[in-house]
Amino acid sequence: MLKFFKRPKSPVILFIASSLAIFILFVFVFFITKISPPLASGGADIRGKYYLNENYSEGDLLITKVPRLKDMLAGPIISDLDPGMGNKEAPVTIVIFSDYQCGFCQKQEQTLKNLLNQYGDKIRLIWKDYPESDENSISFLAAVAGRCAQEQKKFWEYHDLLFQNSGGLNSKILFELARKLNLNINQFNYCLSGSEAEQLIKDNIEEADALGISGVPFIYVNDREVMGQVDLEELKKIIEAELFK
């Protein structure tokens, strides 16, 4: 027989327990939605989908604690804050944690784009940044620059250029690539020097760490983990299994 909370023996205890439960629920909702506000002109919607750990428990309601992301997440957070490609209502969502300084990541990107062409509206691709944590590294700066291009609705075009020039990226080239796409350079520069795009990267890193990701590329097909570079046929098998569900 399932066990339920025992009824408190007094109205006072019931009131305390109920109040604490409401407080913990509020903290839970606040924490799980603790992702950056959308970039000013990006029009992103922070509402999203979360793969939560079904075994997660707050424990004793009389002992308040702040929920930890790593205890709650069972898969990636899906929201419009991260760049997406394909049908938003697709039954299969592929999320890739990646880095512009990773050669294997670049090869994996082409495989994923081939899948988009083959499966059409049945799949959606989501990009998440997992660069080096050093904010002065070109890995991190390139990730920020990509989100600044996202602000001007040119993320995927800039993303492709970053991979094509990954061997010699530096601050100067980041601006050259922006000019190549006719981005507003003043807006791009303001974004690079601000904190919003940078925070999106930090949020992705925090999410990856909470999920236990230690290297890239790292892929989720819905909530199924796929570690390392995976070939086209293997990914097709996983997608077909998800579509069969």
Query: Tens digit of pLDDT per residue, the chain (245 long)?
Result: 333 333 334 554 444 445 545 444 444 444 444 444 444 434 444 445 655 555 545 554 444 444 566 666 778 999 999 999 999 999 999 999 999 999 999 999 999 999 999 999 999 999 999 999 999 999 999 999 999 999 999 999 999 999 999 989 999 999 999 999 999 999 999 999 999 999 999 999 999 999 999 899 999 999 899 888 889 999 999 999 999 98
Compute the distance between CA of residue 204 and CA of residue 82 in angstroms, rounded to an integer: 9
Q: What is the pLDDT at residue 224?
A: 92
Domain ranges of the chain: 76-244
Compute the distance between CA of residue 244 and CA of residue 112 in angstroms, rounded to an integer: 20
pTM of the predicted model as reported, rounded to 2 decimal places: 0.75
- Tell me how crowded residue 56 is: count the other CB atoms within 10 A of its CB: 13
Using a 10 angstrom Cβ sphere, with 0-12 exposed, 13-18 middle and 19 or more buried, the burial of residue 19 is exposed
Contact 115, 86 (CB under 8 A): no
Q: What is the pLDDT at residue 73?
A: 78
Q: What is the pLDDT at residue 92?
A: 96
Q: Which amino acid appears at position 243 of this protein?
A: L
Angle at the Cα of 223 (from 217 to 224), degrees rounded to 5? Answer: 60
Compute the distance between CA of residue 162 and CA of residue 174 in angstroms, rounded to an integer: 8
Q: What is the pLDDT at residue 44?
A: 43
CATH architecture of 76-244: 3-Layer(aba) Sandwich (3.40)
Q: What is the pLDDT at residue 75?
A: 85
Q: What is the pLDDT at residue 74?
A: 73
Contact 165, 125 (CB under 8 A): no
